[in-house]
A and B are shown apart, each in its own frame.
Chain A
Amino acid sequence: MRVYLYTPATNRLDLSSFHGRIKRLLRQAGAAVTTNTERTADGLSAAELEAIEAAGGIALDTMDAVVIEATESDSRVGYLLAYAVARQKPTLFLYHKRSGQPELLTLLDKRAAPKTLVIKGFLSDNLDEVLQNFLRGFKELEVTEQPTVKFTLRLTKTMEKYLSYKTHNTETTKADWLRDEIDAKMKKDEAFWKWLKRQAE
């Protein structure tokens, strides 16, 4: 999956740090990221760009999604937001909550905004979650989460023996085995992913 990440130039160290985190998280999720700030190994190569241009195409159209960090908006942010509205490209528009909503958003006609446009304020401690929620809508991506929710489950004795049997002489713990089983069922559950995407919007 191809993602275009746009981060305006900034003097703010905190924003620069967030830009780096966003890039990392997108890559960890398995996205091939093209950015406006650097040539990257996983982004569109010069040869690919040339091929798209020779075919009369536009590189931005070949991206599956666009992520814009827009705390300090510039003219390109306005253009990309307009593009997201016009072309209905899945787009995540981010801004740092402490800086307030960008003025640009006051110009957005919310009724005309497509469902593919997700606008989210973020803070340091929820940036990962915001990105993961957005990316969950894309089946091609493995969104790697760390299990952090404590869940107490009472089992029957036979169930416990079954777990021991399945994990005996393996490197998998009983908890990991259960998580893998849930993960496998979850991946096949189309209705769940649609529901989750609606929750994220």
Chain B
Amino acid sequence: MKRLPALGLIFAGGTYYLDQRGRWLAVRSERDIGPWLAGLPELKLIATVKPAFVLGEGAGPVTSVQWQRLAETIAEQYRQVDGVIVLHGVESFVYTAAALSLALTHLNKPIVLTGSPSARAKPRRPARSAIKLGAYRDVGVRANLLNAAHLALGDLAEVVVTYGNGIFRASQLERSSDQANVFASASDKTLGRVDFGVNLKAPVSPRHQRRVLVRPRFDPKVHVLDYHPGVSDGWLEQHRRTLAGLVVTLDDLRALTPAFRKQLLQARRENIAPVLYLPTARVSQERQLIIVNDMTLEMTLVKLMWALGQTREYGRIAKLMHQNIAGEKIKRLRQ
């Protein structure tokens, strides 16, 4: 029999599903993986699975420490498998998607993120018999995992997300504002849809032979400040000791007071990297500070953390922030 493809399966939450007996299964520790996989016999029809545990269900939010571990774990498995799936909880999913798309580039096969709905979505009491579970069969990671497996064996070499009926570029992911879908693409263009299977409809980087570049370091000491009238001009002075970077969100550059702007320039000289996030700005006259208006806020935050993990020099940070590393730059951000 011809070899079944191999898929890496990385556990970082998002693992809930209802088994045939009406029990909720999830992976909270490494020893849960075996029984969890045993309840998903359909996976064996598609691929052999090489599991790796990073974070258990309910272990808390995923931070830059886990991003680094995830990237390193993926890198360890990458050569031995035909594609990688990362299971992740809905909370902080968008940040992890951004982080992995920056930490792992020059990919030669896909990395697909997916997961189960939030733990709160499951019913308080499991139904007593399998017959009554009809309504609950749709809850859980099963369908998403199948779609992720199909996608992870496809002809693409990017970090992507599949959730529900959507397929998205990880670097453009955001939470959806409508109730029907959990995630959306900030560019308003998805990579494809799940209808009668996984269907890619937009151009993607295909598989090829290049060597993956792993840059997993992030500096977590970055804060997001929503600048508005009332923000003290002395804010930075009060917080500078805890900061390596700062993302200041505002609608108009002219709203920044001269005193606050002076604080930002001073921070630059003290190795704190300020970035101004102006999603609605079309033209920027700013020369001394980094302006971002073509990425999501989540990506801007994560990218600054990542850039600070590579360098402390503001000029190089600016270059990295302006460079389109993983398709995160969007010509027209969806408002």
User: Which residues does chain A contribute within 8 Å of B42, judged by CB atoms?
Assistant: 81-83, 85-86
Is A58 close to B, CB under 8 A?
yes
* Interface SS, A side: helix
A82 touches B165 (CB 8 A): no
A34 to B46, CA, bound (A): 24
Verify if B202 is at the interface (C-beta below 8 Å from A): no
Pick the residue among A34, A56, A113 that contacts B164 (CB under 8 A).
Answer: A56
Judge whether B195 and A109 touch: CB under 8 Å.
no
The list of the 8 closest CB pairs from A to B, nearest first, reads: A56-B180, A82-B42, A59-B195, A112-B41, A85-B42, A109-B41, A86-B42, A82-B45
Q: Which residues of the partner chain B approach A109 to less than 8 Å between Cβ atoms?
A: 41, 44
- A164–B195 Cα distance when bound, in Å, is 56
Q: For the complex, is B325 an interface residue (Cβ under 8 Å from A)?
A: no
Q: Is the CB of A36 within 8 A of B196?
A: yes
The one of A34, A54, A106, A108 that contacts B196, using a Cβ cutoff of 8 Å:
A34
The interface centre, meaning the residue of B41, B164, B194 with most chain A CB atoms within 10 A of its CB, is: B41
Cβ contact within 8 Å between A86 and B195? no
Contact A80 B197 (CB under 8 A): yes
Chain B, residues 1-32, CB within 8 Å of chain A (1/0): the string is 11010000000000000000000000000000
Q: Which residues of B contact A52 (CB under 8 A)?
A: 165, 195
Min CB distance A39 to B, Å, is: 13
- Give Cα distance in the complex from A78 to B42, angstroms: 9
- Chain B 126-156 per-residue mask, 1 if CB under 8 angstroms from chain A, else 0: 0000000000011000110010011001000
- Are B165 and A58 interface neighbours, CB within 8 A? yes
B197 surroundings in chain A (CB, below 8 A):
60, 76, 79-80
Is A107 close to B, CB under 8 A?
Answer: yes
In the complex, are the beta carbons of A103 and B2 less than 8 A apart? Answer: yes
Ordered by A's residue number, 15 sampled pairs between the chains whose C-beta atoms are within 8 Å are A55-B180, A56-B164, A57-B165, A58-B165, A58-B195, A79-B146, A80-B197, A81-B42, A82-B42, A82-B43, A83-B146, A85-B42, A87-B137, A88-B137, A107-B44
Is A75 located at the chain interface by the 8 A CB criterion? yes
B311 close to A (CB within 8 Å): no
A86 in contact with B143 given A49-B195, A53-B193, A109-B41 (CB within 8 Å) = yes
B residues 152-202 in Cβ contact with A at 8 Å: 153, 164-165, 180-181, 193-198
- CB atoms of B194 and A58 under 8 A apart: yes
In whole Å, how far is B72's beta carbon from the nearest beta carbon of chain A? 30
Given the known interface contacts A53-B195, A60-B195, the answer about A75 and B43 at a Cβ–Cβ threshold of 8 Å is no
Task: Name the contact of A82 in the complex, choosing from B1, B2, B146, B195 (C-beta under 8 A).
Answer: B146
Q: Which among A57, A58, A103 has the highest number of chain B CB atoms within 10 Å?
A: A58
When the two chains form their complex, are residues A78 and B41 in contact, meaning their CB atoms are under 8 A apart? no
With both chains docked as a complex, state the minimum distance between the C-beta of B45 and any C-beta of chain A, in angstroms: 4
Check A86 against B40 for contact (C-beta < 8 Å): yes
Name the residue of chain B whose CB is nearest to the CB of A113.
B41
CA distance A53 to B184 in the complex (A): 12
Q: Which residues of A contact B44 (CB under 8 A)?
A: 107, 109
| A-facing residues in B41-58 (Cβ within 8 Å) | 41-46
Report which of A6, A61, A104 forms a contact with B45, defined as CB distance below 8 A.
Answer: A104
Q: Mark B79-120, 1 if CB is under 8 A from A, else 0.
A: 000000000000000000000000000000000000000000
CA distance A107 to B4 in the complex (A): 10
Q: A103–B153 contact, CB under 8 A?
A: no
List B contacts of A78 (CB < 8 A). Answer: 45-46
A109 to B143, CA, bound (A): 18
Contact of A56 with B165 in the complex, beta carbons under 8 Å: yes
The answer for the CA separation of A192 and B334 in the assembled complex, in Å, is 57
- Within 8 Å CB of B180, what residues of A? 54-56
A52–B138 alpha-carbon span in the complex (Å): 15
Given contacts A76-B197, A82-B45, A86-B40, 13 further A-B contacts (CB under 8 A): A6-B196, A34-B196, A52-B165, A55-B180, A56-B165, A58-B143, A58-B194, A59-B196, A78-B45, A79-B150, A83-B143, A86-B142, A106-B1
Whole-angstrom distance from the CB of B81 to the nearest CB of chain A? 16
Within the assembled complex, what's the spacing in Å between the Cα atoms of A106 and B45?
9
Cβ contacts under 8 Å, A59 to chain B: 195-196
Closest residue of chain B to A110 (Cβ to Cβ) is B41
Q: Is A4 an interface residue (CB 8 A)?
A: yes
